[in-house]
């Protein structure tokens, strides 16, 4: 059912709160989990830190999924975050997005701000509200 799960990250602890749900879903469906982050070019200090972060998170997730058929890969994207994530999903057969947001998250405001609608993406979206 959910063979390809896209987990957009931004380096925040809030975004990482989705991981218990990712592990549960990936183990249940033997999914491929793609951790995605929009980074600056690799030559920049931030670009290097971004790549290090996503690779470290992928390794932690692999350890949590050890013994299951699930696998973890990464995607480093560049450009406007929301647009790049939705484009990646369209081009790569993503079945579901998993994201975590604060509990007063305003979907309409975010859609207007990014000028992109996660909820018109070609896959299901599961948003977990943080406490």
The predicted-structure confidence for 65-93, as pLDDT tens digits, reads as follows 999 999 999 999 988 887 888 889 889 98
Residue-range domain boundaries for the chain: 4-130
pLDDT at res. 97: 82
For the beta carbon of residue 126, count every other beta carbon within 10 angstroms: 15
Confidence (pLDDT) at 111: 44
Which of these CATH numbers, 3.40.50.620, 3.30.200.20, 3.40.50.10540, 3.90.550.10, describes 4-130? 3.40.50.620
pLDDT for res 43: 79
pLDDT at 102: 58
- Structural contact between residues 65 and 25, judged by C-beta atoms closer than 8 angstroms: no
Query: pLDDT in tens for each of the 131 residues of the chain?
Result: 789 999 999 888 888 989 999 999 999 999 999 999 998 887 788 888 999 999 999 999 999 999 999 999 999 998 888 788 888 988 998 888 888 765 544 444 444 434 344 444 555 555 554 54
pLDDT for position 6 = 93
Predicted local confidence at residue 12, as pLDDT: 87
pLDDT at 39: 87
Q: How far apart are the C-alpha atoms of 96 and 124, rounded to whole Å?
A: 5
**Cα 43 → chain centroid:** 23
């Amino acid at each position: 059912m959910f063979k390809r799960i896209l987990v957009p990250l931004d380096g925040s602890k809030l975004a990482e709160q989705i991981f218990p749900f990712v592990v549960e879903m990936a183990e249940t469906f033997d999914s491929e989990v793609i951790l995605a982050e929009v980074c600056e070019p690799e030559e920049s200090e931030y670009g290097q830190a971004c790549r290090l972060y996503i690779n470290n998170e992928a390794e932690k997730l692999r350890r949590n999924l050890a013994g299951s058929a699930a696998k973890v890969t990464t995607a480093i994207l560049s450009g406007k975050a929301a647009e790049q994530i939705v484009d990646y999903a369209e081009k790569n057969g993503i079945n579901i997005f998993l994201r975590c947001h604060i509990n007063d998250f305003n979907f309409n405001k975010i859609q207007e701000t990014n000028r992109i609608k996660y909820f018109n993406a070609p896959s299901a979206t599961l948003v977990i509200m943080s406490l």
